[in-house]
Amino acid sequence: MINKLPYDILPSGGVASLNWTPDQQAYAFRRRAEIDPVRKIGNGRNASPMPIALHQISPRWTWKGESMDVDCYLKQERVSGVIVLKDGHVLLERYGLGRTAEDLWDTQSVTKSIAGILVGAAIQDGYIEGVGEAVTKYIPELKGSAYDDVTIRQLLTMTSGVKWVEDYTDDAKSDDSKMFMPATAPMVNGVDPVVRYMRRLSRATNPGATFQYKGGDSELAAKLVSNAVGMSLSEYLSIKIWKPFGMDRSAYWMVNPAGQEYGSTGISMTLRDYARIGQFMLGGGKVGGVQVLPWEWLADATSAQEAFSVATESGATGYGYYWWIGKDFFMANGYAGQRIVVYPEDKTVIAVNSAWEQPNRPEHSPALTAFIEALHAAAVTHTPSLARIEPNRGGQR
């Protein structure tokens, strides 16, 4: 079912949320399903437990000469939620900006990482043979375009070679914004509007030659999976993860005018379910002993397929399959301060949601990185203790 409620308090055009003020973000990021067309990702009857450690962490750190703590950071950086898991136990869970544990929050580009997970699931299920296959096999409308000879792996590693401009400050210049603008014509001759835009693009480099971050590649990955599995991505995600893994609440996924889920943005979920995505990846892509993701695929997805000569402000030194790769972590990263960070060796997952002002100031990302590093350090040195089980908050919602 697709739901849509009208709204008149928020600016639209291009990627609408990029034009929202911080106060509009704080309101709308937790109400995305009331603002845009969405499809429900149904959960099961019972949420998987998240035991709460009796002794919680409360780190302090120094940032640009200033002593920081969690309260100070949450207020200063407009954080709506932060959660830290170690060995599956909650060491810290806090909320801000009027948000509660029940509220969903817009994932922004964290959606890319989840869309990538569904590519792996489709391979495991036999709907897709492997990442070496041609994109045009699953999206034949792209034949004769710059996506000829581009493989699924090159979509996942952002190395398609297609010419692209991603500019969050200028809708008129940014392909990431213009891609969403054909919204007045849901389908033309049966072609999805996003696919129609993407097939008009030219080629900048040979496929596989150069990493360039582009939302369009992840949009096509989403379309490719839904074509392959023969169902909506929301239904497939519900079947593969949301229900069997015991997600806290039903989630919602934005859809384009053709009813196709966006691959670059648009999932809304609770903070605890952000953390559960990290736990799913940390646990080897398994649900109840069932392998959802191929082992080899998962290893490639969470290791650097593309290496960077200089680390990003988030500490990433490479890129996997829509996951950013650091020295000891892999990460899903979204606009305005959305992040899931997984430390495999330490069995630690950290999720943060924020509402940074627009355009994002350059100091936001390194400040968030310092915050996450302080949380990680505190989690690693945390002394294991007994835990209490949080009452089940899940169910058919």
91 with 108, same domain: the answer is: yes
Identify the domain boundary among 163, 191, 223: 223
Range of the domain at 73: 2-127+224-388
Residue 328 lies in a domain: yes
Residue 395: HSE in the Cβ half-sphere, 13 Å Cα cutoff: 5
Chain position carrying tokens 């000891």: 328
pLDDT of residue 90: 98
pLDDT of residue 57: 97
**Distance in angstroms (rounded) separating the CA atoms of residues 217 and 378:** 37
Query: Which amino acid, one-letter code, is at 143?
Result: K
241 with 384, same domain: the answer is: yes
pLDDT of residue 145: 97
Identify the domain boundary among 223, 251, 286: 223
Beta bridge partners of 341: 331, 350
371 with 245, same domain: the answer is: yes
Are the beta carbons of 229 and 127 closer than 8 angstroms?
yes
Residue 271 lies in a domain: yes
pLDDT of residue 382: 85
227-264 pLDDT, tens digit per residue, is: 999 999 999 999 999 999 999 999 999 998 889 999 99
Close Cβ partners of 50 (under 8 Å, ≥ 6 residues apart)? 85, 88, 89, 90, 272, 275, 390
Residue 395 lies in a domain: no
270 with 332, same domain: the answer is: yes
Which CATH number does the domain housing residue 151 bear?
1.20.58.710
pLDDT of residue 8: 47
114 with 146, same domain: the answer is: no
**Distance in angstroms (rounded) separating the CA atoms of residues 163 and 173:** 13
Regions in the chain scoring below 70 on pLDDT: 1-17, 167-173, 176, 181-189, 358-360, 385-397
Which CATH number does the domain housing residue 103 bear?
3.40.710.10
6 with 23, same domain: the answer is: yes
pLDDT of residue 14: 41
Q: In what order do the strands lie in the sheet with 105-106?
A: 2-3, 38-41, 251-254, 267-269, 105-106
pLDDT of residue 240: 98
Q: How many domains does the chain have?
A: 2
Q: Tell whether pTM > 0.75.
A: yes
pLDDT of residue 128: 98
